[in-house]
A and B are shown apart, each in its own frame.
Chain A
Amino acid sequence: MIAEAGHYALVLALALALIQSTVPLLGARWGDHALMNVARSTALAQLLFAAVSFGLLTLLHVVSDFSVVNVFENSHSMKPLLYKITGVWGNHEGSMLLWVSILALFGGLVAAFGNNLPLSLRAHVLAVQGWIAAAFYLFILMTSNPFLRIASPPIEGRDLNPVLQDIGLAVHPPMLYLGYVGFSISFSFAVAALIEGRIDAAWARWVRPWTLVAWIFLTLGIAMGSYWAYYELGWGGWWFWDPVENASLMPWLAGTALLHSAVVMEKRNALKVWTILLSILTFSLSLLGTFLVRSGVLTSVHAFATDPTRGVFILLILCLFIGGSLSLYAWRASALKQGGLFAPISREGALVLNNLFLTTACTTVFIGTLYPLALEVLTGDKISVGAPFFNLTFGPLFVPLMVAMPFGPLLAWKRGDLAGASQRLMAAGIAALIAIAVLWAWIRGGATFAPLAIGLGIFVVAGALTDLVERTALFRAPLTTAFARARGLPRATWGTALAHAGIGVALIGIVCETTWNSEYIGSMKQNETATVAGYQLRLDGVTQRQGPNFREMIAQFTVTLDGETLRVMTPSKRNFTTRGSSTTEAALLTRGASQIYISLGDANADGAIAVRIYHKPLVLLIWWGPVLMAFGGMLSLSDRRLRVGAPKPAKPARALQPAE
């Protein structure tokens, strides 16, 4: 009964999406307010039914109803409750249901909080959301129904893939989808603007918060996924240039570019046509990512060819939305008027440069990810494009981008003063040079590249802080004045500085981890000691334990540094009986931003156990950087400027700001 109710709710959501995608458009055409307002009620009702459907699937997983195929294939009665819930989206059907539920959520949010939007714009935006939603409801109902029953229900389920039985699955996919799908809002706004043929700075003000929300979630989602891979997969890697990762990186790069071009559009009414195009491209890349991950085309073109129903369906959706929106763009974009002139050296110019590099980086990832597929389809030749290719092509694009990054916020709108900005960045530059010199002196003969890269990271961080120091007149005015100024600064300024600093922090982490990582690989017996980066790790012993749905071999290590005992670490290896597969549970010891990482291999007949120990200096910076970026985004989001319709500040606090 529950499954049928969930199925029915999904059908109702589809029906509502179909109404939402047509009626408001007619209303807008005829100028009928009642019909335009249908968009709002259907979007909210659609959210309700999508949520009911998703909730019922979750309930089926929680009560382990193995008469439902989806539950049978991905759950087990002995599985802990958390993983019963997260298992809902740990499979194709459930994750697609999560996808549309989040789409409905965003549509519902626009409906609920879009009161200050012009009525026809809201009607158009929600109608476009309705098209996307309808397409994906159809996809789920026709090719990936999670509510299908089994004729003779089995007693026990097949269990979830053990690698997925981790807290990471609870956080990573929902975050990622909130990001992916969040970009549908800017897409809908762009298409609505093209249909209406009207776009202005106010449009950018409405779009920017939604883009920012999506970007924050995508940033956190990608970082979280990377950390999950790092501790779960057992060899300490955190980014593999795997097509699935690239699929999430592409919308991130395009979305970051969009975030910046929308600033120009909001402030200066320029780059309108480009911003519209980026909005379309960003969500198109989200759709492309969904296609790549969900169609099976990545595992092999042949796997795709043998069971093409799902893949072809998503490919059709992809062609329809990307082709349709780009055609609309080609047809209508010329009608949009360009505004605001600016000199090449200006804040706008810097943001254009940012866009040039980010979109090129995105293109590089796009080509690297799709080229092997295209080549195989066209010529039958199989090639691989992996980390060495991306490191060589993608990496260099970020160098000029990061060198230019601190200059951007220091340049004035319209016409900037590059010499003045350089002068103000002098301190940051000197700090970077000192860091490079010191590192070079320390590691004579070592990696030549690393000190330069770290210097660049320090330049970016110090450059971001320079902007804050300048604006608060820290070191120049008394501390109280600086404090008052700091409070008076718009939160968006803090947000920019933190987000930019986050990039530098991440770069430092990446360079340190890849350059100065030290490792020990060996077989260890009881009471043997391994030494890694000055730490002594003694294997105290190995024990066996029975978990809820697995057996586990736990090794205990005592870590000492200069004779002082730090902690006991217990890496383990789990065997999942139902699937007959195993996972390594790495043990991590965090010291500042550095980590010691132990993962276990197999046990030998003589009692020795294969052990890998890494010392990863400053590795945590790789994820602190994105967290800082997301935090900057949140600060920016809380800026009252972005709260559309917010009343003007009661007191003119602007008086405290230095003239730009």
Chain B
Amino acid sequence: MRKFIAYVFVAVMMAGSPAAHAVQPDEIMSDPAKEARARDLSRELRCMVCQNQSIDDSDAPLARDLRLLVRERIATGDSDSQVIDFLVARYGEFVLLKPRFTPHTVLLWLLPPLALIGGGVALWVYNRRRTSAGAAADPALLHLTAEEEARLERLLAAEAPDKKA
């Protein structure tokens, strides 16, 4: 229980800020609110020399430079989107881990929801077609043919002695 209270305490302190990073002690800004903003931004920015790592995670010197740059911009009073725009202007879209919705990335953003909707519609159509086809064939399915009846009898008869044993 004491541990639980500790978590909750931490939760209140952190207000839902995740972590995992390679931020160095000397980079941290004195204003915690600005530092939190810098951390959130860092998680969305790619370390361009790494494999899909954010600058928040990366140990690379370039990532450190970018982290310092982000903090510098924040210190001069830039808003989050201004910082992002500045970095994109300087390094291109490649720096964003979450690509913007542009003509280039339409498919990227739309394909996953379309796959879900398309799959759902396909299932619905398929189900309708099957049930209507199934209903037509239903009377035949409901009753066993004479041949099947006979086979069932045989099987049941063969099973019976087993059960006693």
Contact = CB atoms under 8 A, between A and B. Distances in A.
B150 interface: no
Nearest to A584: B59
Contacts, number: 167
A131 interface: no
B19 interface: yes
A352 B115 contact: no
A384 B47 CA distance: 10
A389 B104 contact: no
A278 to B, nearest CB: 13
A34 interface: no
Among B15, B21, B98, max chain A CB count under 10 A is at B98
Interface string A574-599: 00000000000000000110100000
Contact of A363 (B9, B16, B54, B115): B115
Interface in B95-122: 95-99, 104-105, 107-109, 111-112, 115-116, 119-120
Contact of A298 (B22, B51, B53, B104): B51
Among A298, A359, A442, max chain B CB count under 10 A is at A442
A652 B159 CA distance: 12
Contact of A383 (B15, B20, B25, B94): B94
A236 B9 CA distance: 21
Contacts of A367: 107-108, 111-112
Contacts of B116: 356-357, 360, 397
Interface stretch (A68-76, A318-326, A444-452, A499-507): A444-452
A521 B25 contact: yes
B60 interface: no
B23 A521 contact: yes
B112 A614 contact: no
A515 B18 CA distance: 5
Contacts of B6: 533-534
B8 interface: yes
A316 interface: no
A388 B53 CA distance: 11
A617 B19 CA distance: 12
Interface of B: 3, 6-16, 18-26, 28, 43-44, 46, 51-54, 57, 59, 92-99, 104-105, 107-109, 111-112, 115-116, 119-120, 123, 127, 130-131, 134, 163
21 contacts: A240-B52, A241-B52, A243-B51, A243-B52, A341-B130, A341-B134, A359-B115, A360-B116, A360-B119, A363-B115, A364-B111, A375-B104, A384-B95, A386-B54, A443-B12, A445-B12, A446-B12, A517-B14, A533-B9, A534-B9, A617-B3
Nearest 9 A/B pairs, CB to CB: A447-B16, A386-B97, A388-B98, A237-B20, A364-B112, A514-B18, A382-B94, A518-B10, A360-B116
